[in-house]
Homo-oligomer: A and B are copies of this chain.
Amino acid sequence: MAKRKPTLTSKSPIPTMADIARIAGVSTSTVSRALAGLPPIPEETRQRVVQAAKEAGYAVNRHARSLRLKRSKVILVLIPNLANPNFPDLLMHIDRAAHDCGYDIMIAHTAIDPRRSDRYVDELLAGSIDGVLLTASYCPPRLLECIAAGRRLPIVRTLSPTPDLNGVTAVQIDEVQAAYDVVDHLAKQGYKRIAHLGGPPKEIVAIARRRGWEKALAAHGLPATPDLHFQAGFTVNDGRRAADEMKKRAGRPDAVFCSNDESAYGLIAALKEQGLRVPRDIAVAGFDDLSFSAVLDPPLTTVRLPRRDMAEQSVRKLKALIEDDADNDNTILAHELVIRASSLRS
């Protein structure tokens, strides 16, 4: 062979479109069209190309395609922390929904290193990824700048949207109302001293759930006194600690609304260790409806987050934002109060 052949020979391990073109005896444009199933290609030619591609083990190079099309069919999902059991479930549904729309997903944890998330906003701005799904209240600073600058970007936030991002499409539930519903249920069961285990004080959803508790108590003419509020957090251990605190304070509550299921798990475990029975001595309710809440002893009354709907709607909105240049909007999904033994009068 002479100096250099313009096309790849069998030496190269990865077949390109040019290889397929040569094998099928057509041009690369025909291969491209045939593989894409585009109109002006007769079935006979198409078959020949498809066959050649198959035999050569050919697959399009996604980067070449993305570069050319200026569209990658990849969306990024920013996840604060997969250890929180809400996220795997959500992510699973996002994955399925995205693939149904022809998108692949990249993921990145934001809790580990917040600066990392800025890098991904850059990717979005650089056109390397088509859209971003925010599944937490945290918002990359770079993104805030863009919003402030009035840029419309394909971004959807779900699960616990922040108020900082009013211009950004959101898919969420009415957190205040959902918390209200739980506490309303407890009040209707006849409990009089209904305490609240608050989440992290700056977390937007924690604040909303606390507001729901206060509103429901007010509606039932019950006190929301400071001795009924316990500053906790979202972890099992926060729930345990709250139980210790509860023991110290005078006038035990007869029911507790926890700001999430995990803290309820810890609370219940610790209350039992104190020799109390749930719900006989003290009723407990949570928020999230994690899968384990149904098999807990006792099964936990809680609010079911519509994680599947959230995922599907989020992806659908994001797709519309990317492909149809849709407008930003806010979707409120229905939540569901799940009543189980932990809150029922014996």
Chain A: residues with CB nearer than 8 A to chain B?
Answer: 14, 57-64, 66-67, 72, 74, 81-83, 85, 87-89, 91-92, 95-96, 99, 104-109, 112-113, 116, 122-123, 125-128, 236, 265-266, 269, 272, 291-292, 295, 297
Q: Which residues of B contact A74 (CB under 8 A)?
A: 106
Q: Which residues of B contact A95 (CB under 8 A)?
A: 82, 107-109, 112
With A96-B112, A272-B297, A297-B297 as known contacts, state yes or no: A128 contacts B265, CB within 8 Å: no
Not counting A59-B122, A99-B112, a sample of 7 additional A-B residue pairs whose C-beta atoms are within 8 angstroms of each other reads A57-B122, A57-B125, A59-B125, A62-B128, A92-B109, A106-B107, A297-B297
Asked if A106 and B109 sit within 8 Å, CB to CB, the answer is no
Q: Which residues of B contact A57 (CB under 8 A)?
A: 122, 125
Q: Which residues of B contact A108 (CB under 8 A)?
A: 95, 99, 104
Asked if B83 and A92 sit within 8 Å, CB to CB, the answer is yes
Nearest CB of chain B from residue A16's CB, rounded to whole Å: 9
Complex alpha-carbon distance, A178 and B89, angstroms: 29
Q: Which residues of B contact A297 (CB under 8 A)?
A: 269, 272, 297
Instruction: Give A92's nearest chain B residue, CB to CB.
Output: B82
Nearest CB of chain B from residue A265's CB, rounded to whole Å: 6
Instruction: Give A95's nearest chain B residue, CB to CB.
Output: B109
